[in-house]
Each structure stands twice: as structure tokens, then as C-alpha cells.
Structure 1
Amino acid sequence: MGYGWALKWLLAAILIAAGILVKINEVEVVYATTGIAIVLFSLLRIYPLLKSLSKEVLRTINLFEIVFDTIMGGLMIYVAFSGLSGDPFWQGMYAYLLAVFFYVRGFIYMVSLYFFAERSEALKFWFHLICVTLGAGLFVLALTSTGDIILRTLGWLILFVSVSGGLYLGYDGYGGYRLYRQQSKSLQEQKGKSAPVEKELPKPQPQPEAEAKETYIN
């Protein structure tokens, strides 16, 4: 019997609590979450990306992007944990940083596709097209509104994702727990039943040995 349901319930509680904390400490958590996500996205793709690219110029371009994104993500993490995220300047800068991240990712992909004949799938093309559009949209939004609007919108988004993920894990854990209890009940019922008595086979009776005939010698 597995206890994976207990781990799922624990993760569900952590996810929901994290979502609530996002709303309590909205700006700091959104800044930190975004920065950590960008750093992980950049560092975890270094080796497979550079190894799979066939042209040296593409490796160089993507390496510059990875270094730039890592620095930008590190800056976001620093702002979050140094208490600067509440400053109006950094609240306004958040939208610009996010816009640059998405736009650069989409732009480099399009350059690789058009100028260097890099092959790709349709799904990746549409994803990077969305990145370019999202980057441009965030830039315009940053110019026409205050930065805290984007931060608070992402805060609600993180809360929604956290609570949804927590509820899903909780429901999945409930199914695992129900199966665990059914297995436990079945095990108890098997223990309660008496084991079938095996009938002893009749023991073989010893056969009388034939009497040896005496031989007389005249």
C-alpha cells in the first residue's frame, strides 16, 4: 500500500498557502517568483540548447540571451529580497523587465528561423509569436499605466494557479486515500477468515516383508 496520497495532500496545502501568501505579500512574491522562474529557465537550458544548435553564430546569440536573462532574473530576486519591490520605480520597472524577457526570446527565435534557416515545429512557432506579442503588449501597458497593475494582475494569476493546483492535488490524493482504505479493509477481512484446514493424507502402511525361504543343503 502506497502513501503517495499523503504527499499530495501536503503539496496541496503548500500550494494553497503559497497562493494566499502571494496576495498578502503580493509585490515581493511576484517579483521573487518571476526572477526565480527566469533564472531556472535560463540555466537549465544552457547545455541542451547549445549542444543541439548546429551553427556557431546561433550558439553565441543564444548564450548572450541566457546570460542577459540570468542577470535580469537575479536582479528581480535581489529587488524582491532586499525590500526594494515596494518602491514605485521598481514597480514600474517590473513590466519593462518582463516585456524585454518575452520580446527578446521571441525575437531571437524568429531571427534563427528566418536568417539561419533553423527548423522548428508549428507549436514552437506559435508560442514564440505569442512571446513577441506579449512582450510588445507589456511594453505598451507599462507606458500607459502604473506598474503595480501588472504586479497585482500576476498576483491574482499566481493565486488562481496555486489554488487550482492545490485542489487538483487534494482531489487526486483523496482518490489515493480511498484506494488505500479499501486495500486496508480487504487486508483486515483476509486476516479474519480462518485458513482452510488441510486434510492429512493417509500414511502409507508398511508392507510385510516376504519371509525368506530357507534353503537346505543335503
Structure 2
Amino acid sequence: MKLIKQYGFIFRIIGAALLVGLALFLEFGDGERIVIPFVGSLIILYSVIRLVPFIKTQRNDLIKTINIMEITITVVIGIIMIVGAIVVKDVEGVFSDIFGYLFGAVLIGRSAVHFYSLSYGVEKGDNISYLFHILALPAGTIAITMKDFDGAVLIHIILLFSVLTGGYLGYGGYKGYQVYRLEKTMDVNITSKTEKNINDQIVPEIEEPAQDHVN
């Protein structure tokens, strides 16, 4: 565990490179065919992760039912995104227009359910969660009403987010390597000082003078 923590900066640097590299591939390659099923998978994963803990902790039946319905619809939308991107050949055509409606519906639905649960008094929020759901409402509205909102627009957002996240991970890797070098240098200095102290403490052998023996 200590070894993993010591060399954790390597994983941060690799993660930053992979994140930015993937974002650049999506931006300049055939990213739209990839990003739509990616978003669908992300939506499904987020919904499934929420399901069991929410059911176990939420005691209000009405709020529980509403959230289960929202999660179910969200999973269906995620499946449509994945299957549609694979089956439909012209992803940049009709399906790209549908993607905006699906993505916007997920954001608006999540925000509406969240704020209804808060207003009902059975859920507690925090600043980050509140800010996310506030921003999700206009973002979802833009996704639905914006004529040219498609996977390509989302790729630009992913690229920006990836660069920021990659920069954060890269800085963490830099700081981690700096700590690693300080620890290594400190170990060398401590070892050198210890050896020097041991050498200084060695008592030199003193030859006893020859004694005269009386016969």
C-alpha cells in the first residue's frame, strides 16, 4: 500500500495523458459515433449505481416511486443511445437530432425530481448538488431547443472538461513526483549522516606499550 501511494504520481500522469488523448481523438476522429454510446453508458451506470442505495435509504414511498420511475426512464434512454449509435448508420443525421432531445430530457428530469424531493422535505442537498441541478435545467433546455445540438457539441464540452481534469491530474502528478524526490533525497542524506556518525563513533585501537618483565 505504501509503495502504491509512493508511486501514485505515475498513475495520475498516465491518467491525464489518456484523458486528454481520448478527448483529442473524439474531437478530430470519428468521435460522434463513439461519444453517443459513451454518454448512454454513463447515464445507465449512474442510474444503476443510484438505484439500490436510494431504495434502501429512502422511506417515503411517493418519492421512492418517482425516483424509480425516473431511473427506469433514464436507463431506457441510455439503451436507446447505445443501440441507436450502433444500428443507425447515419449517426450525424436524424439520430443526432434525437440525441439532443434524449440528453435534454435526462438533465431536466433529474433536476425536476431532485428539487421535488427537496421541496417535499425528505431529501437533503448540498452546495455542489444544488449547483449541478440548477445548471442542468438550462443545459437540458438548450439541448432540446438548440437546433444544432448533437454529439459534436458534446465532444467540445468533453474536450474542455478533459483538458481541465487532465491539468489537475498532471499537477497532482507533478506534486507527487516532487514529494517522491524529496523523500529519496532525504533517505540518502539520512543514510550518509548515519554512516558518518557510526564512523565517528568507532574507537580507534590503541596499542598498549610493551611491558618490561622482571625475570
Shorter-chain TM-score: what band? 0.7 to 0.9
So what's the TM-score if we normalise by structure 1? Answer: 0.76
Equivalent pairs, count:
194
How far the C-alpha of 1:56 sits from its partner, in A, is 1.7
Distance 1:179 1:17, change over 3 A: same
CA distance in structure 1 between the aligned counterparts of 2:153 and 2:78, rounded to whole angstroms: 19
Question: Which residue of structure 2 aligns with residue 209 of structure 1?
Answer: none
Match of 2:173? 173
Gaps of 5+ in 2: 205-215
- Does the 8 Å contact 1:12/1:165 carry over to 2? yes
User: Deviation per CA, 1:142-198, whole angstroms, max 9, x where unpaired?
Assistant: xxx23xx44222211111111222222122212221222232233334444433334
Aligned to 1:78: 83
Q: 2: distance between equivalents of 1:89 and 1:60?
A: 33
| Aligned AA (1:40) | L
Aligned equivalents of 2:186 and 2:117: distance in 1? 60
Whichever residue aligns with residue 69 of structure 1, its letter is T
Contact 2:97-2:150 within 8 A present in 1 as well: no
Identical amino acids, percent of aligned pairs: 24
Contact 1:35/1:74 (<8 A) preserved: yes
> Deviation at 1:85?
6.0
What are the equivalent positions in structure 2 for 1:119-130 lying under 5 Å apart?
Answer: 119-121=123-125, 123=127, 124=129, 127-130=132-135
Larger radius of gyration: 1
Pair 1:17-2:10 in alignment = no
Gaps of 5+ in 1: 201-218
Question: What's 2:59 paired with?
Answer: 54
Deviations 1:86-130 (A, max 9, x none): 24111101100011111222233344455x554543745554344
Q: Which sits farther off after the overlay, 4-13 or 56-65?
A: 56-65
Q: Closer, same or farther in 2 for the Cα pair 1:135/1:183, shift >3 Å?
A: closer
- Change in Cα spacing, 1:158 to 1:4, as seen in structure 2 (3 Å) is same
